[in-house]
Amino acid sequence: MTQLEAARKGIITPEMEEVARNEGRAPEEIRALVAEGAAVIPANRNHSGVSACGIGRGLRTKVNVNLGISPDCRNHEVEFAKAELAERMGANALMDLSCEGDTRPFRKALIARTRLPVGTVPVYDAEGMGKSLEDLTADDFLSMLARHAEDGVDFVTLHAGITRECLDLLEEGERIMPVVSRGGSLIAEWMRKTGEENPFYACFDRVLEICREYDVTISLGDACRPGAVHDATDSLQIQELITLGRLVKRARKAGVQVMVEGPGHMRLPEIEANVLLQKKLCHGAPFYVLGPVVTDVAPGYDHITSAIGGALAAWFGADFLCYVTPAEHVRLPTLEDVREGIIAARIAAHAADLAKGIPGAEAWDRCMSEARGRLDWDAMMEEALDPEKPSRMRAESVPGDPRVCTMCGRMCSIKRMQEAAPHP
């Protein structure tokens, strides 16, 4: 049985118990969320030792880290180092976005090395099939998916919602950037060259059979997500979302766990409406967002633009944030880019959890505040989301009085109020 099928039969699996411990919730609560489809636990039967991660309503907002080799950057060891860094810095999942040649050796090695759930985009293998794109068949696309599932991938992004109807809307529209999704553009190009329907949409029943066999969670990709704030919340994006909502119902009926991906670039006032619309049209499925990136003008700083949007999206109900690094739109990220992207996304996730009242979020902030109130620097570093950076900064600027920092020195408000406190 899949996690979804077990939950519907009233069975609490070991993965549900692990999620319950991590979330500070009762196992029965987790089972009920999974049974409803309001939460997913990506855990492929072939991923030995995968750490159970719950993604969905009322759970801590989770953070995903992208990595993988590309035609210009093929160093496997650097990408493995990114995976190790992500795990060490508290990320909750990895996505292997490799798109160069035979991706399988790297993918299998990554799955063997990490306990984090691993996601992929099987259609990226189109470039390594030894055929021109237009010569690929529906069976070729399905074989890509089956190979990833067999290898132990825990969740897969499938751009099943970009249909021929979407292509017609694309021709009529006024987008600045028609399709910015890499996987979505491959599917769109294939449909245009062959005249056929999207194979992941047309053969969705076969997709479900493959995913059910291995308990792979489907992440329905937003091929038509806006890549510019000008393009946000247009008819093309909404048409795809309506289709994804129908596919959510079909996946659940087949016993397959499913979540839905979302935008993209958009203005601040549009974020709440987009989250509410997704939750409504997609029947409460967990929502996985890239950003949203709230302005187009900050290349080199898009970990910040996305953290702003991600915090708002998660506050309004998004469940899973895909990190964005400073290198977004510019290059493949370095290790330092990855570090900055993880921290920005984790700050956004925690800020949203604090606003939503997720169990444990406020207690963490209170611990930090109390440590500051005592001028307990060791405790402050222990509570810090990233202890390494503030510890280094303090060591680089040593105060004359070790109780304070070099910003205020003897004018430290906390120290002065402690000294001025009435004696018992």
The DSSP code sequence of 353-400 is: HHHHT-TTHHHHHHHHHHHHHTT-HHHHHHHSSSTHHHHHHHHHS--S
| Beta-carbon count within 10 A of 74 CB | 13
CB 299 within 8 A of CB 324: no
Residue 117 to residue 103: CA distance in whole angstroms: 18
> Within 13 Å and on the Cβ side, how many CA atoms surround 231?
22
Question: Any binding-site annotation on 203?
Answer: no
CB 341 within 8 A of CB 303: yes
Question: Any binding-site annotation on 222?
Answer: yes
Residue 63 to residue 212: CA distance in whole angstroms: 25
CB 368 within 8 A of CB 380: yes
Question: Any binding-site annotation on 124?
Answer: yes
Residue 158 to residue 241: CA distance in whole angstroms: 13
Ranges of beta strands (E only) in 26-71 are 39-40, 55-56, 62-67
Question: Any binding-site annotation on 95?
Answer: yes
User: Mapping DSSP to helix (H, G, I), strand (E, B) and coil, where does residue 220 land?
Assistant: strand
Residue 55 to residue 74: CA distance in whole angstroms: 31
CB 4 within 8 A of CB 257: yes
Question: Any binding-site annotation on 128?
Answer: no
Question: Any binding-site annotation on 183?
Answer: yes
Question: Any binding-site annotation on 182?
Answer: yes
Question: Any binding-site annotation on 405?
Answer: yes
Question: Any binding-site annotation on 254?
Answer: no
H-helix segments, 293-334: 302-316
H-helix segments, 174-301: 182-194, 199-202, 204-214, 235-253, 268-281
Decide the pairing of beta strands 62-67 and 93-96: parallel
Residue 232 to residue 150: CA distance in whole angstroms: 36
User: Mapping DSSP to helix (H, G, I), strand (E, B) and coil, where does residue 307 land?
Assistant: helix
Structure tokens at 54: 């719950």
CB 226 within 8 A of CB 237: yes
Q: In terms of residues, how long is the chain?
A: 424
Question: Any binding-site annotation on 20?
Answer: no
Question: Any binding-site annotation on 211?
Answer: no
Question: Any binding-site annotation on 329?
Answer: yes
Residue 83 to residue 296: CA distance in whole angstroms: 28
Q: Which residues are annotated as a binding site for [4Fe-4S] cluster?
A: 405, 408, 412
Q: Which residues are annotated as a binding site?
A: 66, 95, 124, 159, 181-183, 222-225, 261, 265, 288, 329, 405, 408, 412
Q: Which residues are annotated as a binding site for substrate?
A: 66, 95, 124, 159, 181-183, 222-225, 261, 288
Q: Which residues are annotated as a binding site for Zn(2+)?
A: 265, 329
